[in-house]
Amino acid sequence: MRDAALPVTLIVVGVLWLAWYLGWFPDVDWIIAAGLAGGGVAVLVFDGITKSSIVVGPLLIAAGLAWTLHDRYRVSWSILTPVLLIVAGALMLLARHPRIPVRRGKPDARES
């Protein structure tokens, strides 16, 4: 499964959003938080450690944590949103490291 980060993220977010809108999760925000974190773990498992998964996976996990902090401890989104932006930027810088592969799999002999 090459570069599954974006499709998995879109599916997880879409399913959670639709389920929340339809009222399947009334006052059960922990399911949404767990779904976001689970989606992040799934991206890392299915895609391995790549330049895209190293950003999307942990960012979904952080979004799940932020959702939990907002729900349980009433931390304002005015604080959580910039923190998530900082995390996203830090992960993007981390993804630029040359030892992190672009795709999962064996390195190409020409890249050595």
> What is the distance between the alpha carbons of residues 56 and 62, in angstroms, rounded to a whole number?
10
Query: Residue 53: its pLDDT value, please?
Result: 95
> What is the distance between the alpha carbons of residues 52 and 102, in angstroms, rounded to a whole number?
8
> What is the distance between the alpha carbons of residues 10 and 12, in angstroms, rounded to a whole number?
6
3-state secondary structure (DSSP) of residue 98: coil
In the chain, domain spans: 5-102
Which position has the higher pLDDT, 54 or 1?
Answer: 54
Query: Residue 112: its pLDDT value, please?
Result: 47
pTM above 0.75, yes or no: no
Mean pLDDT of the chain: 87
Which position has the higher pLDDT, 30 or 94?
Answer: 94
At 112, the amino acid letter reads S
